Amino acid sequence: MSRFAAPIAEQIWDMKYRFKDADGTARDATVEDTWLRIARDLARVEKSPEDWEKRFYAALEDFKYLPAGRIIAGAGTARRVTLFNCFVMGTVPDSMAGIFDMLKEAALTMQQGGGIGYDFSTIRPKGADVKGVSADASGPLSFMDVWDAMCRTIMSAGSRRGAMMATMRCDHPDVEDFIAAKSDPARLRMFNMSVLVTDAFMEAVKADGPWELTFGDKVYRTLQARDLWNRIMRATYDYAEPGVIFIDRINAANNLSYCETIAATNPCGEQPLPPYGACLLGSINLARLVSDPFGDDAGLDLDALSDLVATAVRMMDNVVDASKFPLEAQAREAQAKRRIGLGVTGLADALLMTGLRYGSDEAAAQTETWMKQIARAAYLASVELAREKGPFPLFDAEAYLASGTMQSMDEDVRDAIREHGIRNALLTSVAPTGTISLYAGNVSSGIEPVFAYAYTRKVLQKDGSRTEEEVVDYAVQMWRELKGDAPLPDYFVNAQTLAPLDHVKMQAAAQKWVDSSISKTINCPEDISFDAFKDVYMAAWDQGCKGCTTYRPNEVTGSVLSVSDTKSEEKPVLVAEGGEVVYMSEPLDRPSELEGNTYKVKWPDSEHALYITINDIVLNGHRRPFEVFINSKNMEHFAWTVALTRMISAVFRRGGDVSFVVEELKAVFDPRGGAWMKGKYIPSILAAIGGVIEQHMIATGFIAGEGLGLKTDPQARVVGLDAPRGPACPSCGQYDMRMVEGCMTCASCGHSKCG
């Protein structure tokens, strides 16, 4: 009998975590083989590996403890991959040589499967003097473009593309450009972005006081703090980025504040880390630990929880010794502090099984109680490891116990640490668990509410056909099994109906007993007012959160598709997730005459220029691109320019919003190197062509400005959508990408930008 609670769970395991040879031959015949592979690999550093192998296997069995995806996929495979999910890289020097040394380190880290975080506040602002070369600095955002291009070319180990986090301090002179960067949908697509907000800034915002933008000892500009705060809020209201990280609060609470300063996080924000710090993640599946679910005696088995936490801490500590690292500096940092990030998943399901409404005061109090139980068990387990194997090398008892987090810890735990030390400097974190939650039977993700009780998923079969299957939330499926067709109780809520401030309440309740941070998305309705939206962030600050990430569906960010019964046999159709129908219009007829323009592109180091002719058609008073011709005397370009001419022209003649062509072309990166053109880095000749097409579209009024795309189109023929269509999944093509825990995740195949 299969251990998998749902077909999607087995499919995720087979696609992402099952050990296979390069030719696709499975080495893990069953999921039990996967558990055994992990348990054996992590037990090999023990003095009695056979005994610990059995205990580790028992923790993994039935998805009770879920190591992070890198561990599930890589442990015991003998492949040269890191078992750590993400890293914060070294401090970026304010020099050209140092910057590109950092780029090399980033590429090596991503090549092994690690996501990375960087603080770009250390690079001098745009326009600052560069001594010795009689030039002005291009600023941190120009170098972020280079990082973004590099990331697109690196396929991480397994099937995950690298994810990146960029941070910038709220007092950096270029912070306004940083805030606005994602207004261009083609720019910095591989980055999550967050502003490092200080306590002083928040005090100035509340007092409506002035705020200085500085670098070094120079004040570049003074503005009102509230105006800058409103810029941050408006950008994330419109584009879902940047997020906000309360950096002073993070450093004040850090157990290691006596020996490190944090200025960046991993890509989803749950692990604030010092230079070369690494995040080692795993989650306790609370949904599997509820006894008598939906019954009169429903509750979490606290003894089983504590035992499971202790085993998980030992497993994670062993990963520090078992894992490979892309860089020696990362290995040294991990060994010196042995930080781990044990979190939870299935919280919302566990609350439902015990009769509590996610977001209620009672659910927040229960969450705080459970998280404290986990924290106590984790710290005491780490003390026992210190007695057996020694504390982490940089342990200083008095300095450690004086940190912000440890001051609120129970006295018996503090006494144990004072007497015996502690093996792991930090122990708790709530990571994104979108994919491993599907693998565990579609339990609710992390500390998020249930996203949807059930949805229909299209599955691609080997013969190319697609079949439909229902994907049901774990708690809902259990309700059906126990209660039959009885309606769901009123306390069942999901992310679509939950008030934003209830999200904040739950995040704040969990944060009290999490020594690192939490990856969480606060879902906001599309029609939330700007003032109410700002209140969400201020509530996060007031209630003690370490950061805040929101998602408001709109025309830019995309939204979940609604189901439509519209059907037609008259035109070819594209059926998207959930039965939605999008009509593909017939090609537009070509008039005998068209108006157009020809542009010359001279690519550096190329002998011949490209000539790009763009002809337009006028429909209902609107001018729109109809065809493209790309010509060059360089015969090496002949085949691809003809192919590009035909493909782009075919797309244009279909009508609708064709501005995506620009986005796709501008994102093409040439591994041989790009070029600087008119003061801007262009990653490839194809990106240069995309830029020409974009400027033509702007000049003719087809799009409003660079990177903005077409917002309304009288010729678009889209039926059956009550909201704008979200982005297609780059893995399976389904329109079911959802913002979960700060990361776009596909509910159909489990693909996640952040792994």
Assigned token pair, 528:
């939330």
Separation in Å, CA 478 to CA 11, 125, 660: 20, 56, 43
Q: Catalytic residue among 85, 192, 254, 266, which?
A: 266
CA–CA gap between residue 13 and residue 437 (Å, rounded): 11
CA–CA gap between residue 218 and residue 220 (Å, rounded): 6
Nearest to 445 by CA among 754, 70, 15: 754
Burial-class residue 433 by CB neighbours within 10 Å (0-12, 13-18, 19+).
buried
Q: Rg of the Cα trace of the chain?
A: 27
What is 57-75 written as a DSSP string? Answer: HHHHGGGSEEE-HHHHHHT
Is 103:150 a contact under the CB 8 Å cutoff? yes
Is 116:167 a contact under the CB 8 Å cutoff? no
**What's 93's DSSP letter?**
P
Q: Catalytic residue among 170, 268, 548, 743, which?
A: 268
Strand stretches in 178-279, DSSP E: 191-197, 210-215, 218-224, 243-246, 264-265, 272-273, 278-279
CA–CA gap between residue 547 and residue 193 (Å, rounded): 12
Whether 749 sits among the annotated catalytic residues: the reply is no
Give the number of other CB atoms < 10 A from CB of residue 531: 8
How long, in residues, is the chain?
A: 755
Using alpha carbons only, what angle is made at residue 183 by residues 177 and 185, rounded to the nearest 5 degrees? 125
- Element counts in the chain: helices (H) and strands (E): 24, 31
Q: Catalytic residue among 53, 270, 448, 580, which?
A: 270
Q: Which helix (H) or strand (E) holds 383?
A: helix 361-389
CA–CA gap between residue 234 and residue 533 (Å, rounded): 9
CA–CA gap between residue 507 and residue 546 (Å, rounded): 10
Give the number of other CB atoms < 10 A from CB of residue 312: 26
Q: Which helix (H) or strand (E) holds 379?
A: helix 361-389
**Cα dihedral sign, 180-183-189-194:** positive
Residues contacting 117, CB < 8 A, separation 6+: 86, 87, 88, 89, 164, 165, 166, 167, 264, 265, 266, 267, 273
Whether 615 sits among the annotated catalytic residues: the reply is no
Is 312:342 a contact under the CB 8 Å cutoff? yes
| Kind of pairing between the strands at 115-119 and 86-88 | parallel
Separation in Å, CA 10 to CA 103, 435, 445, 584, 654: 37, 12, 17, 34, 39
Phi, psi torsion values for 441, nearest 5 degrees = 105, 25
Whether 266 sits among the annotated catalytic residues: the reply is yes
**Active centre residues (catalytic):** 266, 268, 270
